[in-house]
Amino acid sequence: MKIVVCVKQIQNPEIPPVQFRIDEEAKVLIPVSGLSPILSPYDEQAVEAALRIRDKAGKDSDIEITIVTIASKGARAVIKAALALGADNAVLLSEPTFDGSGGYVTARNLAETIRAIGDVDLILTGRQAADWDAGVVGLGIAEILDIPAITFACDVQTTDGVVTVQRVLQDGIETVEADLPALVTISNELGKVRYASMRETMRAAKKPIKEWMPEDIGLDEAQVGSSAMRYKLERLYIPVNDTECEFIVGNTPAEIAATLAQHLREAKLI
């Protein structure tokens, strides 16, 4: 059984607000010096979901877990982190032409990568990336590959060519089944992610990481980068909140209330 987990490296969400910077002209986040990118937490839980499936199947199972990501070559540390958790190998789409592609093109690039890997039974992604929070790539992959998709999973089990998922609703949990191959997006309700063991961390350095170019997934440069985007980013900026605070004073509560009411009426709030 082949499981593919799609992951993304993001800027650490623990960046102090005073260090958070945007290049408004280039419409990109300015990396904070000395603060390394991390594996998106939802994607980390997707890796954990794959590992739990293999754990339940037993050590002698033939389950292979492959990490797939689109990032610069500097993302190797993030990939190694996923491999150190227990994944078997990885595919890195690191060609600069993959950059700045948006949700649809990212989904297509990942879908074609999964086709190129071949015979994939289960695809796991995070419920959304922890930077843009769009939550569209996973479902886009399923649509392009024409396979079932189940979202917001807190538990995933596979048996005899069927995936059984407990998915989170606003008012409870529902159980959904689908034939494999299928795609499942993993939610934070899956629970705590395991720590990388010393043994797996040492093994991760020797696990294979393939670097693929656009032609390796059957696409050309015009199909994989910003030129293929389906939307235009008009502006990326940090909102400025100009808040003014006025203390209402008076000799009695009634006088304070009357003054407050007068201010609210002048502001056309009442």
Q: For 127-136, what is each residue's pLDDT tens digit?
A: 998 888 888 9
**Mean of the pLDDT values across residues 52-68?**
92
Question: Is 108 contained in some domain?
Answer: yes
Q: Is residue 210 part of a domain?
A: yes
Mean pLDDT of 232-258: 87
Q: What is the pLDDT of residue 20?
A: 84
118-122, 179-183, 239-243, range with the lowest pLDDT: 239-243
Amino acid at 153: A
Q: Is residue 263 part of a domain?
A: no
d(CA 109, CA 98): 8
Pairing relationship of beta strands 9-10 and 38-39 according to DSSP bridges = antiparallel
**Amino acid letter, 233:** L
Extended beta strands in 115-235, E state: 122-126, 149-159, 162-169, 172-179, 182-186, 209-212
CATH of the domain at 210: 3.40.50.620
Q: Under 8 Å CB-to-CB from 102, ≥6 apart: which residues? A: 226, 229, 230, 231
Whole-number pLDDT of residue 221: 81
174-226: pLDDT as tens digits:
999 999 999 999 999 999 999 988 988 998 989 999 999 999 999 888 888 77
d(CA 129, CA 127): 7
Q: Specify the amino acid at residue 212.
A: W
265 is a domain residue: no
Helix 137-145 to helix 102-117 angle (10° resolution) is 50
Q: Cα–Cα distances in Å, from 59 out to 11, 56, 62, 104, 206?
A: 35, 9, 9, 37, 20
Burial of 4 (0-12, 13-18, 19+ CB in 10 A): buried
Residue 30 lies in a domain: yes
Amino acid at 196: A
Q: How many domains, in total, are found in the chain? A: 1
Q: Backbone phi, then psi, for 132, in 5-degree steps?
A: -85, -25
Band of pLDDT at residue 155, cut at 50, 70 and 90: very high
- What is the residue range of 154's domain? 2-228
Tell me, yes or no, whether 246 lies in a domain: no
Give the pLDDT score at 43: 94
Provide the whole-model pTM: 0.84
Q: Is residue 257 part of a domain?
A: no
Residues 149 and 138 sit within 8 Å (Cβ to Cβ): yes
Does residue 206 sit within a domain? yes
